[in-house]
Structures are given as C-alpha cells and as structure tokens.
Structure 1
Amino acid sequence: MTLRLDNIPISVLDLSPIVQGSTPSESLRNTLDLARNAENWGYTRFWLAEHHNMPGIASSATSVVIGHVASGTSKIRVGSGGIMLPNHAPLVIAEQFGTLESLFPGRIDLGLGRAPGTDQLTLQALRRDPMRNGQEFPELLAELQAYFDPSLSSESMHVRAIPGEGLTIPIWLLGSSGYSAQLAGQLGLPFAFASHFAPQNTVGALNLYRSYFKPSAVLDEPYAMVGVNVVAADSNQEALRLATSMQQSFLNLIRNKPSQLPPPVDNINELCSDNERIAIQERLDSSMVGNADTVKSKLQAFLEKTQANEVMVNSMIYDHEARLRSYEIVSEIAREQ
C-alpha cells in the first residue's frame, strides 16, 4: 500500500526549546507563535512533552502549557506527547485533562508514556519509586481510564474526577520500544512511536503494535503515528547547518551534560569524537534534513517503510524564524502532492 503525504494528517511535536541566551518565557511565547502558524498551515495536532531538569526544555508543566496553547488557538488539537503517567497520581491527570477538555471541548489529546522523562535524582524529587521502573503503568492507565469512564472499573468508584468523569478524551500510548506498542495493541488504543530518537526500533515496534491489535470501543483498526525530526530550509546547505543545533543537543545528552539549544556551527565533526559522531547518527538516523525536494523524498520513503497513519514533526532549530520556515515547508510539501 502506497501512502502519500497529502492524504494523511501531519502534526507538530514541540519541546518548547530554550535556546542559548534565551529564557523560558521567550520559549513559551515562541511555542504559542508556532502553534498559531501550524494551525494556519493545516497541521492536525500540536503536542507538548513532559521533561524535567532539562535546561533546554520549557514544557515541564505540560498541562499548563497545553492550556496556554489551546487558549491562543481555535481549532488545532492540542495534547501531550506525552505525560509520563508514573510521575503522577492518575486522579490528578484525570482532573487536569478533564479541566482542559471542559475549557476546550473536542480539542484535547492525552498521550501517555511510562518513562520518567528525566534523570534518577529528579525522579526521586518527583516522589517516583525508582525501583518500579514503570511496570505499574498498566494499572495506572486502567485507573486513569476509570476516572473518565467509571463503568470500566470492577469496583464502585468512591473517588471521582471532577472535571473529567464522563468526558471523552482520546488516550494515546507513546513508546520508543516494544512495551507500549504491545500494550496499545492489546487495549485497542492509538500508538505513537518516538522515531525521532529511537529510529532503530521503529518498524519492529509498529509491527508488534499491529500484530497485537484488538478492536476496541476506541478503534476498529490500528492507528499509528510516528515522530520524526525534520529540518527543512530553502537550500540543502542551509538545512544541514541548521541541523547542527539538534546534533549538538544530542551530543550534550550523550555526554550527560544537557544544555540549552546551541546555535548552529559550520562543522559538527569538529566538536565530537568518531564514537560520538556514530552515536549521534544512530540516534538521529531517521532525521530528514534538506530543502523541500529532499525532505519530500525522505518523508515519502519513510511513509512507505512504516505505513504510518500520521506523521508528527519535531524541528529543533535555534532560530525561531528558521524553525517556522521549516514547518511551513513541510506544510507546503503536504499540500502540493
């Protein structure tokens, strides 16, 4: 089956990057500006991710930022990509997203992950049990679903999520390996795979999701969205230079020195060893960098390889105007087919 970019939804993943020399306040203003433009360019959804103790990411209070974006837009779906459920009491997430859905009906998505989204020390600061390692995720998910729909609980619900109860909020499972893929399939939920940082696991996880899929009240057939890094510009040379900011960011993570998003450089190889260069390449193997023709070709090949139902684009670019232009180019590619 051949998929085309003009007949599948294209969406945005925003980490609300804090660039060097900037502030979280400016990053959050840029996030809203990007969301408004993405809405005008025809993107389907705009998701924000939960990360903690990361100097280059301003979306740690994810539910708050979702409300900020939803209030400044009118029709694009806004959600989490994702909320790391074991970091929270399910009741709190049910109330937060119940509130968001009540304020912005029909526009809120709840994407859930099981990783901490941070380091071990911050995990403890979040009061998360470091010995559990996410294995309680299915039970937490079931509890969360029951707050929205008490009929899903085998026991009488003595605690209710208000707002939340009775609301239909799409729940997605997110993953970078096979665990959430299998669980999403068994539960008949939509699945989003993080190919933007785990490209080597993409096809295997999608195959696992589809093979385990059971129809549910939510879905009759599997629905898979895949996240990809895209750095698009008006020339291949410009795009390659812009992409060095993303490469430096991953290099700093490899070195266990997370930082604000650095400005681009002329030659990334001057900053890293051969082993580090290989590690960056492995983590960013599915990234699509280039002009419109190059990105279009890579996106089409990626669709044919994954048979994804939807693509979510992540563009980690230092300059805000260049970042907007990258998303604009992707939207133009999707419309021109």
Structure 2
Amino acid sequence: MRLSILDLSIVPQNGDRHQALMNTLETAKQADELGYTRFWLAQHYAAKAGAGRSPEVMIPFIAAHTHKIKVGSGALLLNHYSPFKVAEIFNTMEELFPGRIDMGIGRASTGMISDLALQRHRFVGSKKNDDSEQQVVELLNWMHQDFDDENPFSEIISYNNGTSPDFWLLGSGSWSSKTAASLGLRYVFAGFINPAMSFNIVQNYHKEFTPSDYSAKQKPELILALNVFAAETEEKAHRMTAPYQLFEHRLKTEGDTQSLLEDEETALILLGNKFRSPEINLIDPRQPPRFLAATPDKLYDWINQIATAFGAHEIMIQTITGNHQERLKSNRLLAEVFFKNTFS
C-alpha cells in the first residue's frame, strides 16, 4: 500500500507563518526519508490557521530539499488561473525536477470576497456559466500540445523537456468523479471533506472510467485522502483530534476560518461535551469516519480495509494539528507499520 502526505502548513502553537513553512519543509524531508510516495501542498487563501496558499512556490522549494519523493499540488485551483499559465508553471517545475512533479488540479471557491479578489476581471460566476471541464481540457491540451489546427492556441507551444508532470484531478463531489472518468484521468478523492458520499462517488469513477488520448492510463487510478492521527495509545490519538474538532466546530457554527488551532487541553475544555471520541472500531470500510485516530497497528488494518473497499491504489493522509512534533511522530509511527522494510 502506497502512503502519501497532504500538508497545509498549519501555523504552530506559539509560532508564526514562517515557522509553519519551515515545519512543512521538515515534514517533507522526514517523509522522503521514511518512504512516503508523494508530498503535496495545499492551497487555502486568507486562512490564518494555515500558511499553505501557493503550491507553485512551495513545490520547487520542497523538491530542492528532498531527493526521491514526488512533490505536487493538492490542489492547484484551476478556476482562479489561466490554463496556459498553469501549464508553463508546471512544465518549468518538471524541467527543474524531472520525474518528481505531480500536477494536482482542482476547483473550489475560496470565499465570495476572496474569489473576487483573485480575478483580474471582476466577474462573479455562477453554475450556469461554469466552464470547469473546458478549463481542464484546455490545460490537458497545453500539456500534450493537442489543440485542433483551427484553434488559435495551436500556433503556440508550452515547451517542455520531453516529459510532463503526472496529472491528477482532485475533488470531493460527483463533478470531479465524472470528469476524471470521462477524460481517463488519475483521480484523488477528498474523503475527509465528503465521507458520507465517498464510496458511491468513487465507485462511479471506477465504473465510468474511459481511456482517452489525454492520459496514458488504461485503467482507473485512485488516491483516497483521509484525516489520520496516529499515537502510541488510543487515548493519545483521540486527544490529538481535539484541536481539529474545535476548528471544525467554529467553522460550522461561526463561519470562523481565522482561529488558530488550540492546544489539546484548551481544545478539550472549549469543546466540553461537544468533543466526539473517534471510533474504536471500523464498522464498515465503505463508510470511513471523518477522521481515523488510533494506534499504528489498528490504523494499518483500517487503512488497508478502506483502500480495498474503495479500490484505492494509494492513501493520502492529512493530519491537522498545531503541534508539529506530534505530526512528525504520527507520520513516523505510520511509516513503521506500512514500510516495515525501511526499518528492518
């Protein structure tokens, strides 16, 4: 089972945003040494709790300080970019680090005001004029130099050195599943965003997958992303989730995306009876909980069961905590059970 990491550059307790980015670098170097397959950088705008907003900046920074791990975006939000510019950025990164760059593409609203701020032409979009699939197709055409002759874009080239980054479409809903399937693309599903619908959406990707000229893939390839917290004891793993639960509670009840993650003790006090103890057993691998928190051996069993049920070739873990050392320890504990040969 391949295991990878999604990093949000969480601002640490008693730290600042510079430290958050340096912690991301340390996490990536550790992941490289431990045997993780890939390390992806998130994109969240105007977020006080996380400094991860520019994957195109962080990817070459991380790649330059690691050796073999694949580095990519999770995701780059294409609806806020020109497809040609994205192609130029990723072709440049691939030229710098051949064979190590992942092109994780998604779409999302960053918020009504920030969406407007990101646009050069201040147009407020709607579902009626959603051109997300056309943007994806245009980006693929830039990467493969595959525009029809009558298309004016066929007159120019986004040059590369003969290789292209691996292209992944990311999402948490049915649109991304259908688009990835119809275009024959690798697919990453954010199970931590939409756990209730995860299984059905992913199965539709498997069933509807159609090979195409846009990808060399002849069969579906799926990464499932999950919230995972590993510790030596069940109690410690459960306590690790408290700051994340508090953050989610504030987001849902107050629309608060600014608050920094509290330490475990403070989070438990503030949550009170709203603290939800994580599952101690995986009842149905087709319905994974919103976060998995347990000892490494139990997580090894759970993650393999979930991957088998979903037909996932890889699991990407997200561990949201302001305690950097606990995150590093969680990643190490998982590596010890998943990559046993690394430590033999």
TM-score, normalised on structure 2?
0.87
Q: Aligned-residue CA RMSD in angstroms?
A: 2.4
Which amino acid counterpart does residue 137 of structure 2 have in structure 1? A
TM-score, normalised on structure 1?
0.89
Superposition map of 1:84-233 within 5 A = 84-116=77-109, 118-127=110-119, 129-133=123-127, 135-154=130-149, 155-157=151-153, 160=156, 162-164=158-160, 167-216=163-212, 217-233=215-231
For 1:177 and 1:315, how far apart are their aligned partners in 2? 21
Deviation of 1:158 after TM superposition, in Å, equals 5.5
Q: Kindly tell me: are residues 330 and 153 of structure 1, through their superposed partners in 2, closer, same or farther at Cα, counting changes over 3 Å? A: farther
Deviation of 1:312 after TM superposition, in Å, equals 0.3
For 2:52 and 2:288, how far apart are their aligned partners in 1? 22
For 1:284 and 1:26, how far apart are their aligned partners in 2? 33
For 2:198 and 2:52, how far apart are their aligned partners in 1? 25
For 2:135 and 2:305, how far apart are their aligned partners in 1? 37
Deviation of 1:234 after TM superposition, in Å, equals 1.1
For 1:273 and 1:132, how far apart are their aligned partners in 2? 40
Deviation of 1:318 after TM superposition, in Å, equals 2.1
Is the Cα–Cα contact under 8 Å of residues 300 and 337 in structure 2 kept in the other structure?
yes
Deviation of 1:277 after TM superposition, in Å, equals 6.2
Local SS of the residue matching 1:228? strand
Deviation of 1:238 after TM superposition, in Å, equals 1.1
The aligned length equals: 324
For 1:181 and 1:104, how far apart are their aligned partners in 2? 29
Deviation of 1:90 after TM superposition, in Å, equals 1.0
Which amino acid counterpart does residue 306 of structure 2 have in structure 1? F
Query: Which residue of the other structure, out of 3, 11, 14, is the alignment partner of 2:4?
Result: 11
Local SS of the residue matching 1:145? helix
Local SS of the residue matching 1:324? helix
Is the Cα–Cα contact under 8 Å of residues 81 and 111 in structure 1 kept in the other structure?
yes
Is the Cα–Cα contact under 8 Å of residues 102 and 163 in structure 1 kept in the other structure?
no
What is residue 261 of structure 1 aligned with on the other side?
261
Is the Cα–Cα contact under 8 Å of residues 16 and 30 in structure 1 kept in the other structure?
yes
Is the Cα–Cα contact under 8 Å of residues 175 and 181 in structure 1 kept in the other structure?
yes
Deviation of 1:34 after TM superposition, in Å, equals 0.5
Deviation of 1:14 after TM superposition, in Å, equals 0.5
Local SS of the residue matching 1:151? coil
Q: Which moved more, 1:159-168 or 1:326-335?
A: 159-168
Q: Which moved more, 1:186-195 or 1:169-178?
A: 169-178
Deviation of 1:28 after TM superposition, in Å, equals 0.7
For 2:138 and 2:39, how far apart are their aligned partners in 1? 26
Deviation of 1:336 after TM superposition, in Å, equals 3.9
Which amino acid counterpart does residue 74 of structure 1 have in structure 2? H
Which amino acid counterpart does residue 124 of structure 1 have in structure 2? L
For 1:277 and 1:36, how far apart are their aligned partners in 2? 33
What is residue 3 of structure 1 aligned with on the other side?
none
Local SS of the residue matching 1:157? helix
Deviation of 1:41 after TM superposition, in Å, equals 0.7
For 1:273 and 1:200, how far apart are their aligned partners in 2? 23
Q: Kindly tell me: are residues 192 and 272 of structure 1, through their superposed partners in 2, closer, same or farther at Cα, counting changes over 3 Å? A: farther
Superposition map of 1:300-319 within 5 A = 300-319=304-323
Q: Kindly tell me: are residues 267 and 96 of structure 1, through their superposed partners in 2, closer, same or farther at Cα, counting changes over 3 Å? A: closer
Deviation of 1:269 after TM superposition, in Å, equals 7.6
Unaligned runs of 5+ in 1: 1-7
Q: Which moved more, 1:93-102 or 1:148-157?
A: 148-157
Is the Cα–Cα contact under 8 Å of residues 185 and 210 in structure 1 kept in the other structure?
yes
What is residue 327 of structure 1 aligned with on the other side?
331
Deviation of 1:229 after TM superposition, in Å, equals 0.7
For 1:215 and 1:150, how far apart are their aligned partners in 2? 18
Q: Kindly tell me: are residues 308 and 269 of structure 1, through their superposed partners in 2, closer, same or farther at Cα, counting changes over 3 Å? A: farther
Deviation of 1:19 after TM superposition, in Å, equals 2.7
For 1:159 and 1:69, how far apart are their aligned partners in 2? 34
Local SS of the residue matching 2:9? coil
Local SS of the residue matching 2:181? helix
Deviation of 1:129 after TM superposition, in Å, equals 3.6
For residues 17-57 of structure 1, the C-alpha deviation after alignment (integer angstroms, 9 at most, x for no partner) is 11343211101101010001101110000001111011111
